[in-house]
Amino acid sequence: MTLAPTIIERLTRARGDLRMGVPVVLAADGRAALVVAVEALTADRLAALRDLGTAELALTARRAETLKARAYDGDLARIMVPADAGVEWLRALADPADDLRMPMKGPLRSLREGAADLHRAAVALAKSAHLLPAALVVPVSKGLALAAELGLTFLPLDAVAPALLRLSPLHEVTSARLPMVASDAGRVHIFRPEDGGDEHYAIEIGQPDRKAPVLARLHSACFTGDVLGSLKCDCGPQLRAALAQMGAEGAGVLLYLNQEGRGIGLANKMRAYSLQDQGFDTVEANHRLGFEDDERDFRIGADILRRMGFSAVRLLTNNPKKLAMMESCGLQVVERVPLKVGQTAQNAGYLATKAAKSGHLL
Ligand SMILES: Nc1nc2c(ncn2[C@@H]2O[C@H](COP(=O)(O)OP(=O)(O)OP(=O)(O)O)[C@@H](O)[C@H]2O)c(=O)[nH]1
Ligand SMILES: [Zn+2]
């Protein structure tokens, strides 16, 4: 093994670069482009990028739909950036915060010719860095030389694309006993992915028999609900009820998955909440931001359970997608255990939307 970073390590580096506003170089089939997340783009960098080539804006088709821009590349739109467009113009296209106040952003012209692969990877990278899914893409010749000269992260797409799809293996780092209100016999296990991404936690209650189906819950982080007692969702009460049921039965596993905001990150979830205050529901808000309604990867939960030695679960959930994902990852779901707690006047609409649009069971 060499000391040079692997493609996975360079990907992790690229996420940090994008969050700082530093360009990364994506390359495929002799083509290359400098890519910057719109959210972190500064006027200086925009000016420097313009010296290198013509800027294009990559957005998801979801965002393009709200902007009434054409998406010729399926899930993606490539928008031409006028020569006099500044950072504010780009931000306004990326961020729906002011859509209602300033609905007319166009006319927007979408690119139809040419390949969209670099743009698609740029948007996927921005998403995986929990940024708004919008990237400035500046095609350049000699991408590798430019990356070497400027010290930029260079990512060849043939290696990046499969790495973005693959689940990074998770390894247990450590565990410790934790007496809790729900049970004296608690133990917290920390799992860390090889790609330097978010850690996830398994809270084991008692000593569940590895040969029998375990009472399990895949809980996605919700800072507002779990910690602040938000009334906009049911996460906090679900978390506590799941632990309480495991405590009462004497055994269970709750996975606390750091997939805040259904995988879009807390900053984007707060953006979604602002949109909800403008009258959009939880699904519409995600779409206006350019996300799917659920961006979580439930393979993580299945992987952790398997690593802990479980092969069958009684899953506490109202979400059929979690059941399907478990089964497709080879974990047998012998029973769905409903988890209905925490209904409030403030979250009735949210829960109704999840049932109507996302297939949640009432
Ligand atoms: N994007 C977005 N995320 C939200 C919103 N409200 C809650 N969340 C997030 O939604 C997730 C809820 O996760 P879970 O309760 O595990 O999942 P679920 O899909 O509701 O399924 P079950 O609770 O198992 O039935 C958490 O990551 C929350 O942060 C919202 O309005 N928008
Ligand atoms: Zn919540």
Neighbours of 335 (CB within 10 A): 12
Answer whether residue 104 shows pLDDT above 70. no
What pLDDT sits at residue 84?
93
Any idea which ligand is nearest the CA of 282? Answer: 1
- Nearest CA residue ID for atom 9, ligand 1: 261
Confidence band of 1 (pLDDT split at 50, 70, 90): low
Is 344 known to sit in a ligand binding site? no
294 carries an active-site annotation: yes
Answer whether residue 356 shows pLDDT above 90. no
Where along the chain do its domains lie?
A: 7-164, 170-259+296-358
Answer whether residue 341 shows pLDDT above 90. no
What pLDDT sits at residue 163?
86
- Assess whether the C-beta atom of 262 lies below 6 angstroms from ligand 1: yes
Q: Express each pLDDT in 286-301 by its tens digit.
A: 999 999 999 999 999 9
With CA atoms as reference, report the closest residue to 337 among 180, 218, 209. 218
96 C-alpha vs ligand 2 centroid, how far in Å?
22
What pLDDT sits at residue 105?
72
- Nearest CA residue ID for atom 5, ligand 1: 261
Q: Express each pLDDT in 156-195 by its tens digit.
A: 999 988 888 889 999 999 999 999 999 999 999 999 999 8
Confidence band of 351 (pLDDT split at 50, 70, 90): confident
Q: Express each pLDDT in 110-157 by its tens digit.
A: 999 999 999 999 999 999 999 999 999 999 999 999 999 999 999 999
Answer whether residue 56 shows pLDDT above 90. yes
Q: Express each pLDDT in 201-221 by its tens digit.
A: 999 999 999 999 999 999 999
What residues sit around ligand 2, an ion, with C-beta below 5 angstroms?
222, 225, 233, 235
ipTM summary value: 0.97
- Looking at domain 170-259+296-358, its CATH superfamily turns out to be GTP cyclohydrolase II (3.40.50.10990)
Place of tokens 């479980």: 310
What pLDDT sits at residue 61?
98
CA 63, CA 75: separation in Å to the nearest integer?
Answer: 10
Across 85-110, average pLDDT: 89
Question: What global pTM score does this model have?
Answer: 0.94
CATH classification for the domain delimited by 7-164, as one of 2.40.50.180, 3.10.150.10, 3.90.870.10, 3.40.50.300: 3.90.870.10
What pLDDT sits at residue 47?
97
Q: What is the mean pLDDT of the chain?
A: 94
